[in-house]
Structure 1
Amino acid sequence: MANSRPNSLLKRPKLLITAVVAACFGFSLGATEWAQADATAPALSINTNTAPQQALVALPDFTPIIDRYGPAVVNISSTTNKVIHQQTNPFPPNSPFYQFFQHFGAPGQRGGPRHQQHEKIQSLGSGFIISPDGYIVTAGHVVRGANHIVVTLTNHHAYPAKLIGLSVRYDTALLKIDAKDLPTVPIGNSDHLKVGQWLLAVGAPFGFYNTVTQGVVSAMNRPLPDDEYIPFIQSDVPINPGNSGGPLFNMKGQVIGINDQIYTNSGGYMGLSFSIPINTVMRVVQDFKDHKPIQFGYLGVEVQDVTPQMAQALHLQEPVGALVASVMPGSPAAKAGIQAGDVIVTYNGKPVYNVGQLPPLVGNTVPGSHANVGILHHGVAETKNVLVTALPKNMDEPSNSTQPSKPTKTLKIPRMDIHVQDLTPDIEKQLDVHHGVVVVGVSEGPAAEAGLMPGMIIQQINQQTVNNVSTLASIVASLPADQPVPMLVRQGKASIYVVITLSKK
């Protein structure tokens, strides 16, 4: 009886069709025939078993991770005092009306009086507890410049936090709160991550506390332009402002990264999230706890990408690796025999496909340790054993371009359409160069197409050293036409390889 209603509903369309067919052929069926037709029809069987079925695809269940380690994720709020200078003159100094409003200022002040206003800026972020006595890890930009930091646990207990250490290069900070017997998270090994593995993020996006999102690993060792020392984990885990500093879990419930950045045009999540590997983070955290300065590995080379045109000019099979544009005198690379023009393709057994992959590998090397650097020297594979030292503190000094003064000899190179001059002692001393020629004029032609400008110094062409204008002229005369040739040039204190295609003789 339970199936009678469904069966009658299913059979009704069939009976209606039979009646229509009978009407078309001019005959009808009696009641007995209808009953016989209905009785002889096969009964339809519907499975009403409501017992749970086994899933065809096993999806991850994140509830055990949240139940066990969710209480160790904290919310971080920080307050920063920002001084705002206000000027009564409504026009900028280059405005023709600027002078008419100067007299409104106080005596001795130009452009009107300046008032200082203090504005409090509050920001929200996330973090996680790594020890029961109150050590907390978060992203550096969450608390950078903060005057007051408050950490709130999932039980709504709030604690003032002390900043133990902060690294701008690694965007990592260590906080301390006065508490005991706190829940903690287990620390995993980010080197074991693989593309496609499931991930879980916990944080406070837009201030919505204890928000859980999930995704997969999209890429590993992803370099970003403004953070050259961090080999980011790229994922599609949805994170937004407020997630910064929160943990990124693997399926074992281990933290394998700090949620740090998103790629966005709108200010919100667009499918690309970047996290700092926990191995990088914990190396910095340990230095903070030991009150040691943060040191970065130093190789002493300037590198650039190998373009397809450059690979052709260097006679390489593939456009991969980091092309060494210059080697600092006395640096670890120089002592190991690495030269300008070499292409770094591996570092400690890890492949280097582009220039962005090398700085994180070198920076994360412990100063004082050895690294095997695989290079291509004139196309031949070699391995150099380098004793990596600490990054010097004065490496960020700005460089200035230099124009030649009192040149000793000038020469035109017709095949390049440039005028060059020998170096002067002043330029050699200021730029710390000991060979090359200065470009003093560039006409329309091969040199201009290669990007050469007056003030640049040509140090190599076709991987041959240029000592003076006569050497350059001799080398150029021997080179074939209409073929790409590598040329090492220097602008200010930075060196770069360019590709030039010489005209016919």
Structure 2
Amino acid sequence: MTWLVAVVLASTSSVNPLVQLSGSIEALVKQVSPTVVQVVVAAYTTVDQGNRAQADLVMGRQRSIGSGVVIDAGGYIVTNGHVVDGARAIQVVIPGEKAGRGRTVDAKIVGIAREIDLALLKVDVTGLPALPLAAPGSVRQGELVFAFGSPEGLRDSVTMGVVSATDRQPDPDAPMVYIQTDTPINHGNSGGPLVNVKGELVGINTFILSNSGGSEGLGFAIPSSLVALAYPKLRQFGHLHRGEMGMVLQTLTPKLAAGLALARDAGVIVADVVAGGAAERAGIQIGDVLVSVDGQPIDNVLPLAMRLFTSNGDERVSIGVVRGERAFTTDVAVVARTNDLDRLTDLLDPETSAVPELGILGIAITEEIAPLLPALRAPVGVIVAAHAPQGGAADVVLLTGDVIHSVNGVRVATLAALRALMAAVRAHNPIVLQIERNGQLQFLTFDAS
């Protein structure tokens, strides 16, 4: 009868605890909602043609909707990388003062970290309320959390649940962990914030496991610690800077250990070693089992992967190794992963490299620069080395690393030619850029501003 006594006491109290709880949630929603945006993406993607053969690939222009969260008052918004994948144009709906109202503004991609499925967008709006990040390691299993976003396109929605697990690793060989939650998350929530009762960002809602296609209480969010790591790098470089050791790792499972007749069934096994790399120089071999990092035991790839994610190189890590019956420790150098785009930024000049009509800083591909881009299909054009957002720039999604080969069918070989071709198109007339992105040629269409 204890529960009955509690109910009676609650009912006779001057303050109804349910009313208090409801009021606290309302206050939290009012605090967080202005930081949450709807992301509307126009993209070309595969479309279902029902009566056509399954092997018949059909491309069509589609409009998709996701969510995002303002992380900096200067107009920087974090969302999922997959939300803006293949984007030709991006718009963001910023909440208005009255519920259900908002204003739509154009957004540009500043950077994408596909390794962790995060993207950073920029809008030309300042003074936006930004959501603070929860302190690393502060998330606790069982604590209340709230998912904000646009499920199924329903903007300004919020749901409530708990943290089911703080470090869920769906794939033991992948270096990604997620916050698992039973908070209802559906299509359209991707990129939106998972928030604690303090109004802090604890994660970016990313995917669900579901047999029905809708929420079944298995939602997963990228931890805010990764957001804090990725944001400054995406803003500065357009991609993640990370270290590497020259080896490929897999989590050691009991079945893998049994098949290889290993004495232990926990740790990380070395699947490959890069010839001449740091790991080989430190004496690490294929088949070695790694059991500690800087004296701390490890039983999966995550601790080492996180160490590399947070490193810019030029440091050493102490690795505990088991090889057969021998156990030893070796220091492995962490070196910065080379990225030729970073080398190109040294050649940029804000005055001479700018293409104002596109909001970019570009570099013409010359005989000296072409060797930095060995995978380029056509060694001529202008490469997008950085973004330089400014008023009057056309509404077109160009990514760092894109190569512009032509404007309205006219080949581009120099920055001067690109600027001249862009300036020659009258306002509101169509422009077609042929670009090369990730080894594939494609057309981008938009109107001159």
Alpha-carbon distance in 1 for matches of 2:124, 2:150 = 23
1:64 matched to 2:10? The reply is: no
2:90 paired residue number: 149
2:206 paired residue number: 260
Gaps of 5+ in 1: 1-45, 94-113, 395-505
Is the 1:229–1:364 contact (alpha carbons within 8 Å) kept by the matching residues of 2? no
**What displacement does 1:251 show?**
2.6
2:431 paired residue number: none
**What displacement does 1:243 show?**
0.4
User: 1:250 corresponds to which letter in structure 2?
Assistant: N
1:329 matched to 2:281? The reply is: no
Q: 1:194 to 1:339 in 2, by over 3 A?
A: farther
1:131 matched to 2:72? The reply is: yes
1:214 paired residue number: 160
1:66-145 correspondence to structure 2 within 5 Å = 66-82=29-45, 119-145=60-86
Q: 1:246 to 1:144 in 2, by over 3 A?
A: same
Is the 2:113–2:234 contact (alpha carbons within 8 Å) kept by the matching residues of 1? no
Q: 1:283 to 1:307 in 2, by over 3 A?
A: closer
Is the 1:347–1:361 contact (alpha carbons within 8 Å) kept by the matching residues of 2? no
Q: 1:171 to 1:304 in 2, by over 3 A?
A: closer
Q: 1:48 to 1:288 in 2, by over 3 A?
A: closer
Alpha-carbon distance in 2 for matches of 1:48, 1:147 = 56
Q: 1:343 to 1:85 in 2, by over 3 A?
A: closer
Is the 2:45–2:86 contact (alpha carbons within 8 Å) kept by the matching residues of 1? no
Alpha-carbon distance in 2 for matches of 1:137, 1:261 = 16
Q: 1:351 to 1:64 in 2, by over 3 A?
A: farther
Partner SS for 1:69: helix
Is the 1:228–1:360 contact (alpha carbons within 8 Å) kept by the matching residues of 2? no
Alpha-carbon distance in 2 for matches of 1:226, 1:384 = 24
Q: 2:194 aligns with which of 229, 241, 248?
A: 248
Alpha-carbon distance in 2 for matches of 1:125, 1:320 = 39
Partner SS for 2:40: strand
Q: 1:306 to 1:131 in 2, by over 3 A?
A: closer
User: 2:233 corresponds to which letter in structure 1?
Assistant: D
Alpha-carbon distance in 1 for matches of 2:15, 2:33 = 30
Q: 1:62 to 1:254 in 2, by over 3 A?
A: same
Alpha-carbon distance in 2 for matches of 1:184, 1:309 = 47
Q: 1:360 to 1:132 in 2, by over 3 A?
A: closer
Alpha-carbon distance in 2 for matches of 1:301, 1:385 = 14
1:150-209 Cα shifts (integer Å, max 9, x gaps): 111221111111111122222111111111221111122343323333222111111111
Q: 1:349 to 1:250 in 2, by over 3 A?
A: farther
**What displacement does 1:305 show?**
4.2
1:376-387 correspondence to structure 2 within 5 Å = 376-387=322-333
1:374 matched to 2:315? The reply is: no
Q: 1:48 to 1:221 in 2, by over 3 A?
A: closer
**What displacement does 1:310 show?**
5.4
1:342-381 Cα shifts (integer Å, max 9, x gaps): 2112334554324576545544443333323233233454
User: 2:68 corresponds to which letter in structure 1?
Assistant: G
Is the 1:298–1:388 contact (alpha carbons within 8 Å) kept by the matching residues of 2? yes
Is the 1:223–1:357 contact (alpha carbons within 8 Å) kept by the matching residues of 2? no
Alpha-carbon distance in 2 for matches of 1:64, 1:348 = 44
Alpha-carbon distance in 1 for matches of 2:304, 2:121 = 30
Gaps of 5+ in 2: 1-7, 97-101, 341-449
Partner SS for 1:303: strand
1:186 paired residue number: 132
**What displacement does 1:214 show?**
2.1
1:198 matched to 2:169? The reply is: no
1:402-417 correspondence to structure 2 within 5 Å = none
Structure exhibiting the larger radius of gyration computed from Cα positions: 1
1:462-493 Cα shifts (integer Å, max 9, x gaps): xxxxxxxxxxxxxxxxxxxxxxxxxxxxxxxx
2:234 paired residue number: 288
Alpha-carbon distance in 2 for matches of 1:147, 1:329 = 40
1:101 paired residue number: none
1:308 matched to 2:254? The reply is: yes
CA root-mean-square deviation: 3.7
**What displacement does 1:50 show?**
4.4
1:148-167 correspondence to structure 2 within 5 Å = 148-155=89-96, 156-167=102-113
TM-score, normalised via structure 1 length = 0.56
Alpha-carbon distance in 2 for matches of 1:182, 1:91 = 48
Alpha-carbon distance in 2 for matches of 1:309, 1:121 = 44
1:345 paired residue number: 291
Alpha-carbon distance in 1 for matches of 2:128, 2:140 = 31
User: Which structure ranks higher in relative contact order (CA pairs < 8 Å, sequence separation ≥ 6)?
Assistant: 2
Q: 1:84 to 1:378 in 2, by over 3 A?
A: closer
Alpha-carbon distance in 1 for matches of 2:60, 2:181 = 36
1:437-481 Cα shifts (integer Å, max 9, x gaps): xxxxxxxxxxxxxxxxxxxxxxxxxxxxxxxxxxxxxxxxxxxxx
Range 241-250 or range 299-308, more displaced: 299-308
User: 1:219 corresponds to which letter in structure 2?
Assistant: A
Q: 1:217 to 1:208 in 2, by over 3 A?
A: same
1:276 matched to 2:239? The reply is: no
**What displacement does 1:141 show?**
0.9
Range 204-213 or range 362-371, more displaced: 362-371
Alpha-carbon distance in 2 for matches of 1:303, 1:75 = 38
Is the 1:321–1:354 contact (alpha carbons within 8 Å) kept by the matching residues of 2? yes
Q: 1:342 to 1:205 in 2, by over 3 A?
A: same
Is the 1:314–1:378 contact (alpha carbons within 8 Å) kept by the matching residues of 2? no
**What displacement does 1:294 show?**
2.2
Alpha-carbon distance in 1 for matches of 2:139, 2:238 = 29
Is the 1:345–1:353 contact (alpha carbons within 8 Å) kept by the matching residues of 2? yes
**What displacement does 1:84 show?**
7.9
Instruction: Give aligned pairs, total.
Output: 324
